[in-house]
């Protein structure tokens, strides 16, 4: 009988702690089976001071999904910036190779090569933010909002202990 009472107490305590957790599925945040609004999630991220950046990026992809003009402008600017920084990185890499091919390898060669590589990384990051289709925007939104839910759940768990 004592074992049954202990098991019941453990199950009740587990269900009491798990009720506060936030779940995200396909554009909807829920807590205890009740749907939460975006404003409520925003307030939670601010009150727990976690997931704020992921939440704003998720909202940005939501806006991009709904507004085709905003998405095409964003894609065009990101593509232009990515091409410009990639071209600059390639140009610096070729200039460094040409300038330092006649002298012994020096620290300047490594510095210029690292700068060119850095510009290529910036180029990659700019292209990776492009969301060419509404479905891609939803996929990226869901990825960001899942991170928000995970971070909020970690903060809730930490505050319960």
SS3 19: coil
Confidence (pTM) = 0.61
Instruction: Give the per-residue pLDDT at 32.
Output: 87
Instruction: Give the per-residue pLDDT at 80.
Output: 72
Q: Which of 106, 72, 112 is nearest to 92 (CA)?
A: 112
Buried b (16+ CB within 10 A) or exposed e, 70-109: ebeebbeebeebbeebbebbeebbeebeeebeeeeeeeeb
Q: How far apart are alpha carbons 2 and 8 in whole angstroms?
A: 10
Instruction: Give the per-residue pLDDT at 70.
Output: 79
Instruction: Give the per-residue pLDDT at 10.
Output: 46
Instruction: Give the per-residue pLDDT at 88.
Output: 72
The domain spans of the chain are 2-160
Tens digits of pLDDT across the chain (161 residues)? 565 555 544 444 444 445 578 999 988 999 988 999 999 999 999 999 999 999 999 998 898 888 878 777 777 776 777 677 767 766 776 776 676 666 556 666 677 777 777 776 666 666 666 666 788 888 989 999 999 999 999 999 988 87
SS3 67: coil
Instruction: Give the per-residue pLDDT at 2.
Output: 60
């Amino acid at each position: 009988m004592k074992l049954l009472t202990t098991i019941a107490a453990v199950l009740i305590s587990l269900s009491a702690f798990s009720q506060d957790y936030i779940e995200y599925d396909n554009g909807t945040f829920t807590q205890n089976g009740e749907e939460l609004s975006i404003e409520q999630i925003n307030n939670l991220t601010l009150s727990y001071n976690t997931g704020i950046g992921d939440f704003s990026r998720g909202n940005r992809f939501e806006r991009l999904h709904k507004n085709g003009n905003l998405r095409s402008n964003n894609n065009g600017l990101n593509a232009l910036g990515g091409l410009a920084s990639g071209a600059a990185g390639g140009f610096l890499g070729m200039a460094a190779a040409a300038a330092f091919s006649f002298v012994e390898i020096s620290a300047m060669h490594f510095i210029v090569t690292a700068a060119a590589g850095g510009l290529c990384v910036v180029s990659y990051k700019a292209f990776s933010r492009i969301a060419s289709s509404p479905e891609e925007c939803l996929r990226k939104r869901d990825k960001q909002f899942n991170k928000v839910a995970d971070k909020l759940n970690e903060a809730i768990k930490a505050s319960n202990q």
